[in-house]
Each structure stands twice: as C-alpha cells, then as structure tokens.
Amino acid sequence: MEGHMDADIRIRAVGPPERDLLIGMYDRFDPLGGAFGLPPRTAEARREWIGSALGHKVNVAAFSAAGEVVGHCFVAAGDEPGSAELAIFVHQDSRRRGVGAALVKAALECGSAAGLRRVRAMTSSDNRAALRLVRSCGFRLTSVFPAAELEIYLPPTWVANPSCPAVA
C-alpha cells in the first residue's frame, strides 16, 4: 500500500562496514532522471561517491528482510554551521511504499541529535515524487527555478532516534 512501509523493512544507521551493501543497491539503481546525475553512472565513480557519502555524520539505510539495501539517505554538511543538505535514494522496486519517508524522518532525527537546525533538499522542479516526499516530511518549498529547493528547520527539542550512532 502506498505510504505504508512494508513491515519487513528496517531502517538503521550505516557506515563504512555497509559500503558493499550500498554499492549493491546503487549498481542496480535507476535514478529516473531526477537526481542531478547522482548516483554517478560509472562503477568507479559510484564507489568513490558512496565512500564520500559514508563520510558524512548522518547516514541511514533501509534493509529488506533478505538484508539487501533498498534505500539510502544521508545528510551532508551545509554552508553554515548547523545546516545540511539531504540526499535520498530509494531503489525503484521499493518506491511508493513509505521507504523514502521513513528514511528522511530517521535522517532528520539523527541530524537533530547531531546539532543540525536547518536541512535543505534540492530536486528538479518536475520531480513530483521527490517534491511530494520531502513536503510530506515537513519541508517547505523556498524556490522552484532553476531547481526546486526546500528546507526544514529542526527544533532543538526534536526527539532523537535511539538507533542513531554516536554523532558527537
């Protein structure tokens, strides 16, 4: 059912030990043209990009019952202290099932625990699915040209997810 995540999907923080599992998802990933060229097209560039993504404080992934990664979300440091940019990728076989919303919410909880107060998201202006996703998670639209930009302010009292890794 759309909007309700399958009961057998688990969201948890990830790091370098899960690199190969992330590579597996991204090697089978279809970006549908809305991800600004991400993930990179070549295997070598993709592996380098995944390594860089795993260097950010906040990384969460969705795992199937079989232990495969079906979605990945990370928050990259922004241009101002306490700010960051959100990146969300859900494998095409797991889209429209609530996985993206669960990943975004988990990343925001972990980001809040890490001291983030403002998170931005960018997507192409015609990527209705991505716009719907981040808006459903509380982001507000701030710009639509040349790309859609959205942001959310995290209150200091946001309840942190106990499954977040140590972020200090």
| Tens digits of pLDDT across the chain (168 residues) | 344 567 789 999 999 999 999 999 999 988 765 567 789 989 999 999 999 999 998 999 999 999 999 999 999 988 888 899 999 999 999 998 999 999 999 999 999 888 899 999 998 888 888 899 999 999 999 988 888 899 999 977 555 555 565 443
Cβ atoms of residues 104 and 158 within 8 Å: no
Under CATH, to which class is 10-121 assigned? alpha beta
User: Which DSSP letter does residue 55 get?
Assistant: T
Give this prediction's pTM. Answer: 0.87
CA contacts within 13 A on the Cβ side of 17: 3
Contact 101, 135 (CB under 8 A): no
